[in-house]
Amino acid sequence: MEIRKAIHFDDSNTAMNYHDFMTNYFEDVYADKGDLFFEKCLFVCNVDDKPIGTCFIWKVYNKINTLHWFKVTKQYKGRGIGRTLLTVVMQDLKNEDYPVFTPVTLPQKRIIARYPVFHPSIWTM
Mean pLDDT to the nearest integer, 20-30: 88
Q: Which CATH architecture has domain 2-124?
A: 3-Layer(aba) Sandwich (3.40)
| pLDDT confidence band for 125 (50 / 70 / 90) | very low
Distance (Å) of CA 39 to CA 8, 9, 30, 35, 43: 19, 22, 12, 6, 11
What pLDDT is attached to residue 96? Answer: 84
Rounded Cα distance between 83 and 113, Å, is 11
What pLDDT is attached to residue 86? Answer: 86
- Stronger pLDDT, 3 or 85, i.e. the higher one: 85
pLDDT at 121 over 50: no
- Stronger pLDDT, 109 or 51, i.e. the higher one: 51
| Mean pLDDT, the chain, integer | 81
